[in-house]
Amino acid sequence: MNGIRHDDIRHDDDMTALLSTPVDAGTLSRLHRRLEQAAERANLVDVAYTTIDSPVGTLLLAATPEGLVRVAYANEDHDRVLEALGRQLSPRILRAPKRLDEVAREIDEYFAKHRQVFDLTLDLSLSRGFRRLVQTHLPEIGYGQTRSYRDIAELVGNPKAVRAVGTACATNPLPIVVPCHRVLRTDGTLGGYIGGLEAKTTLLNLEAAA
Amino acid sequence: MKQPFENVVAQHGATVLRVCRVVLGPHDADDAWSETFLSAMRAYPDLPETANVEAWLVTIAHRKAIDVLRVAKRSPLPVDEVSEAPTGRGVPDPGDSDLWAAVKGLPRKQRQAVAYRYVAGLAYAEIAEILGGTVEAARRAAADGLKNLRKRYPGAIAKGASS
């Protein structure tokens, strides 16, 4: 990408090699941490993110200064999710785990069955209109319980909007924390899930076994 | 499409640090690097999508290095006088001190031209824009810098001859 553009440079490869002094990973990560701190102090980090390991795979966690804005499963492709956040929110995106410390802790507690309710500030700015309305109501489904798409449609006062509720669940930007996994088909079958059916089953089993 | 800023740091962080080392020496390079990326992050949303990101970063690094040099000049402490003295900042010296002494001995413009040409791989037109002269002057500064460096640092000649 930053390729050398002229032939005349070839004779000077030795100097290029000599001056391109080694930069070890430790140096770069030390500088990165310093950048994270300085950028946070200067209010330049519009989106901070980190990744954590969980029983449902590696999760991407992203937060704006307003709150947690995105939880993404590995099957969503984290690089693409970050690119999308760049378009939707701001390209000032930095891997800055500190802002996500509390989120990561609560998710760990959830998977360790030490937590049933998330106590986090959410930024719902990725959703609008009816989807946002549905996502706002999903936390009303308690831990270990399930509802049908139809129940949710009735809950939000629009009993005919069953399909739209399905779409709202499928596009939930905050899975796990906003519990769209607790919404099933009326006949009790799983329906879809943003993280795949295996993840949905894992979450439902985890909560049922509590 | 504009990449998340994190990708910019990941892709260009090492090159920008190498450029800063040549322009400022290894001790001050970290500060210049930090100032460069902080400033770049501030301006990033306004960067045109078609811009050459590396040339843009080197331009910012150039300005930040001048700031660092200015501060160093005002500082009462002697800077990098004794090469065998430890850095005192916990930063390991990358490469050998003879090389840094040779680089430091170059006139500033030659040092900059060498860094932007041979470390960042920028075109002379881009370097001329950064240094504020003609393309020919940029080419000459890089060539003279290289010639002087070979003279001051015989190790390079040995390495060059053996290849």
Residue A209, Cβ density class (10 Å: 0-12 exposed, 13-18 middle, ≥19 buried)? exposed
> Across the strands, what pairs with A61?
A50, A71
| pLDDT(A13) > 80 | no
Q: Is residue B148 part of a domain?
A: yes
Q: Which CATH number covers residue B11?
A: 1.20.140.160
Q: Is residue B116 part of a domain?
A: yes
Which residues contact residue A80 at a Cβ distance below 8 angstroms, ignoring those fewer than 6 apart?
none
| ipTM value | 0.89
Q: Is residue B130 part of a domain?
A: yes
What's the half-sphere exposure (Cβ side, CA atoms, 13 Å) at A97? 10
Give kind and range of the element (H or E) at residue A81: helix A78-88
Pairing outcome for strands A93-95 and A47-52: parallel
Q: Quick one: pLDDT at residue A104?
A: 98
Residue of B nearest to A82 (CA): B4
Average of pLDDT values for A200-207? 96
Q: Quick one: pLDDT at residue B160?
A: 43
Q: Do A94 and B17 touch (CB under 8 A)?
A: no
| pLDDT(A67) > 90 | yes
Residues A148 and A191: beta-carbon distance below 8 Å: no
DSSP per-residue codes, B1-26: -PPPHHHHHHHHHHHHHHHHHHHH-H
Closest to A148 measured CA to CA, from A175, A172, A169, A176: A169
Q: Quick one: pLDDT at residue B84?
A: 45
Question: Looking at the 3D structure of chain B, how many domains does it have?
Answer: 1
pTM for the structure as a whole: 0.87
> Which residues in chain B have their CB less than 8 angstroms from residue A49's CB?
6
Expressed as residue numbers, the domain containing B39 is 5-82+94-162
Q: Give just the sign of the alpha carbon dihedral B148, B151, B153, B156.
A: positive
Q: Do A2 and B6 touch (CB under 8 A)?
A: no
Chain A residues with CB within 8 Å of chain B CB: 1-6, 9, 12-23, 27-28, 31-32, 34-35, 38-39, 42, 44, 47, 49, 82-83, 85-87, 90-95
C-alpha to C-alpha distance for A148 and A130, rounded to whole angstroms: 17
> Which residues in chain B have their CB less than 8 angstroms from residue A3's CB?
121
Average of pLDDT values for B32-38? 97
> Which residues in chain A have their CB less than 8 angstroms from residue B142's CB?
none
Residues A83 and B4: beta-carbon distance below 8 Å: yes
Q: Residue written as tokens 């920008």?
A: B16
Q: Is residue B46 part of a domain?
A: yes
Residue of A nearest to B37 (CA): A35
What's the farthest any 2 CA atoms get from each other in chain A? 75
The DSSP call for residue A122 is B
Backbone angles phi, psi at A122, to 5 degrees: -110, 145
At residue B101 the predicted structure's pLDDT band, cuts being 50, 70 and 90, is confident
Q: Do B4 and A23 touch (CB under 8 A)?
A: no
C-alpha to C-alpha distance for B33 and B20, rounded to whole angstroms: 7
Backbone angles phi, psi at A147, to 5 degrees: -135, 160
Which of B9, B103, B163 comes nearest A32 by C-beta? B9
C-alpha to C-alpha distance for A152 and B34, rounded to whole angstroms: 50
| CATH, range A129-208 | 1.10.10.10
Q: Quick one: pLDDT at residue B156?
A: 57
Choose the catalytic residue: A72, A180, A183, A184: A180
Fold classified for A25-111 = Double Stranded RNA Binding Domain (3.30.160)
Q: How many degrees, rounded to 5, is the angle at CA A98 between CA A95 and CA A103?
A: 100
CA–centroid distance for B12 within its chain: 13
Q: Is residue B125 part of a domain?
A: yes
Average of pLDDT values for A107-129? 96
Pairing outcome for strands A68-72 and A59-63: antiparallel
Judge whether A169 counts as a catalytic residue.
Answer: no
> Which residues in chain B have their CB less than 8 angstroms from residue A20's CB?
18, 119
Average of pLDDT values for B119-127? 96
